[in-house]
Amino acid sequence: MLGFAAVKDTEEKLEYLDFVQVVAIYVVVCFSSVYRYDKENSGPPKPGVRTVEDTVRTVIGPVSDKFHDVPFQLLKFVDHKIDESLNELDRQVPSQVKWVSGQA
């Protein structure tokens, strides 16, 4: 799978980029459904597809297990940087500008 770890507590939840995680999961589910349908309806090449699939699973499996949480950690890092940038912007923008933009 794509490697997005299940979010178990509120510290692990993304504040700004949670939609990216949702979209990625949706894409993986859609791709899996299409792949499963195509594999079941492949006809004569079906045994070859299964052989290639098993080989890829054997080779890629250990690498996938090692790096399964990297995409989520990357999103978490970027999300944290966005939060830092917005906090810095909030600190530097004068309150008058904030008030005027709120009135618009």
User: In this structure, are residues 25 and 2 in contact, taking their beta carbons and an 8 Å threshold?
Assistant: yes
Q: How far is CA 91 from the centre of its chain?
A: 30
Tell which residue, 58, 56, 68, 76, has the closest CA to residue 28: 68
What is the predicted pLDDT for the residue at 9? 47
Helix (H) or strand (E) holding 6: none
Work out the average pLDDT over 6-23: 76
Query: Is pLDDT at 79 greater than 80 in this prediction?
Result: yes
Least confident of 37-46, 72-81, 95-104: 95-104
Q: How far apart are CA 25 and CA 3, in angstroms?
A: 9
Contact between 93 and 102 under an 8 Å Cβ cutoff? The reply is no
Provide mean pLDDT across the span 18-32: 94
Residue with tokens 């894409």: 27
Q: What is the pTM of this model?
A: 0.63
What pLDDT does residue 64 have? Answer: 86
Tell me the average pLDDT across 60-67: 88
Percent of the chain with pLDDT over 90: 38
